[in-house]
Structure 1
């Protein structure tokens, strides 16, 4: 049904004004790069007053930044020779694209060109290991024998303790672990968090860390052990929760489209996250849940919690459920105001394909 003329004209005029303002914003971003959190702090009250969800505003800001190459990233760049092991995977492709964009020379080593490993690894200044979790340590062992003592070796997988231990053991040169806390579908590193786990000779990676910051990334420093403990909650249990929800919806044959027509914003957001989870490689999702014994134990504890609460629901034990709520409420009391508003609903996962690398 065509829009009424007056409504259509007003909408068109608003769109033209919005496009002009977005153009101005992109021009300003080219000369100055405030962090996403800083920008949100400035406009959050206005968004609330106007009834605009923060996620909408964040999406617009990231869209403005996506096609923008910051001046700080391209000025005085010393081209580095980089090899990405597993560079055909989606996260590997993202890093290759972003590093190449600012002038670095990036090569890819995959299972079908290991005969060139000496050439691709021995001459590189930086090696990024971007392979599935189950192959990471073995690939590090295999690659290490080709590396010069000055070569910087770094992995970008989602567990850190075992890979960093392996890199320190098998390579005598600079070592660092990175965990990009976002999926490979992002258009840039702007507003994205990257966990940094130092290993050895941190100065050799300073140019890489500066690059990530120049692109608008936020660096979070952590020990490998602290990182892996947090990922039990941030990744493994969340994957299991959404994996379980997806399986439930499929088994119950829920009409998702109909449910969305009368849904709340939170439900739509959750369905979007579940949908994206199940659009990924199943090997990756399962590997994230099974990566360590700690993750398996935490998932089992979460499942037991579900079962215990479900039994209370089955018994219609209203008093017990209220008690559970109140106990948990007291746990969160005093912490709610300090929680960061969710800025990005991207599922933290990477769609590597096991066939991309052989060991």
Structure 2
């Protein structure tokens, strides 16, 4: 009897599902488009966002304070050679910096803001090498002969030379450690494979310990097995803070806002990257046609080359001719 009831319930659910689909298909579709939205100025939108009154501040503060009991364990893990990887919803910038300022006071700490879109990995390695060089001189006084050759300016060295210096064991002991904290190691400026390989080599240096945070859902795909278990040697900690990404979000474009030409082109690229190659090809043809026929409102469908698959686009971003030219450059790279 119970089995028949379950089957009837399943049948009813299936029937209602297809009935809803049938009714949905016959209903009048909305003619509203994203382009109908009155898009505001980006500065005005950011100002409005900054004025949003925060909620649950007391609960968030209590949650972050509860993580302080883990500080001694984190410091112990780092001294033992493990790398710490913090994940969970909310900005972890304040948490990591508070840990460093309270539990790593006897060490040198080097902070990398990985959320910056313009971050340069070579400049990061140069600065890191300079900090390590200062530590070597402080620990040993006058540099020894084996270290004297390292007095060549770091800015003139290649990335491989910088990594060799950071990883060099000659005339060094493990009597000092340099701690590296990376806010958003999965940030857009650090997300490529080559940069992650460089960071993995830094993390494996004998005098360096690394602590980082991630926020992108696909961040673990940046690393292979060797990088995770041998070079980074990650020890994962789930530390959701529910703190707004105020600082990190400053450097990300607001799609529903007017901006400058470069920003508008970047917004359009974000949309185009979600399309299929065929649809991207169509838009490239349309953009080139629009630039050469600026007096026309668009390209007739009959003028499209044969074999091109037209795509139905669900969103639209207003874009100027200057931004369109920049967009074509972005698409061809």
Do both proteins adopt the same fold according to a TM-score greater than 0.5, normalized to the shorter chain? no
Q: Which has the higher helix share?
A: 1
Which has more radius of gyration? 2
Higher relative contact order, structure no. (Cα contacts within 8 Å, ≥ 6 residues apart): 2
